[in-house]
Amino acid sequence: MKIAIIGASGAIGKAFVESFLQNKKVEKLYLFSRSDIGFEDTRIVSSYIDIEKEESISKSANIIPQNSMLDAIIVATGMLHGENIAPEKSLKELSQEKFLKLYAVNTVGPALIAKHFISKLKSDNRSIFAVLSARVGSISDNYLGGWYSYRCSKAALNMLIKNISIEIKRQKPYPIVVGLHPGTVDSKLSSKFTANINQTKVFTADYAVTKMIEVLLGLTTEDTGKLFAFDGQEIEF
């Protein structure tokens, strides 16, 4: 298998790398990140990427040889909070800056990755384009409100996943395009928000990735365009 992971230096991205390195069927891992990935293995090809810059995404895709068609592309990027950016509890906390930043990272970045990377997928056999999404991006599952910019950016990402799946299916019958909800993972992304959560529902990145890989292995072409939780349950958009 040949696999590309975008966002390979994050908690979930690293866990994906570690898991795939344990699989002897994995022949090549193309890893992309803004930070040092820190893995040394003869199967790894790593490179810098900035998903907020299309030129960087395009250059990264070109690192993958034209004759090296991929079995899977995993987009493990995402942003919930940052400097001067935190999930909003009310309308009063909304700002253009927050919305634009979260859309740039959570929606536009994955869209441009799909634009430049998805042609690298195998077209004559089963292959997967998977993006980390979130349950809070589901409109039908929203009972608490809040987190405006993050929810909206993930809802838009879910629409993107659906759109890509429709276009790709017209061209190639085998690639599967899905969103993955990893659950609440103990990472920098969620560290400020897990204190009040039942700790039995906070998972290590390794556990979440193990479960998500199980989901990926069980997918069929009928599942393309959908969002799945780490436990295999489909989440309605």
126: tokens are 């089963």
- The whole-angstrom separation of Cα 174 and Cα 29 is 21
pLDDT digits (tens, 9 = 90+) for 170-179: 988 999 999 9
CATH (residue range 2-229): 3.40.50.720
pTM of the model: 0.92
List, in sequence order, the alpha helices (H) in 105-174: 109-117, 148-171
Per-residue model confidence as pLDDT tens digits over 194-224? 555 555 578 899 999 999 999 999 999 999 9
Handedness of CA 87, 235, 167, 59 (dihedral sign): positive
Burial class (CB in 10 A: 0-12, 13-18, 19+), 196: exposed
Domain spans in the chain, listed from the N-terminal domain onward: 2-229
| pLDDT for 191 | 53
pLDDT band at 39 (very low <50, low <70, confident <90, very high): confident
Distance CA 172, CA 166 (A): 10
Q: What pLDDT, in 10s, does the model give residues 12-38?
A: 999 999 999 999 999 999 999 998 887
- Whether residue 190 is predicted with pLDDT greater than 70 in this model: the reply is no
- Is the pLDDT at 4 greater than 60? The verdict is yes
Mean pLDDT of the chain: 92
Average pLDDT over residues 80-87: 88
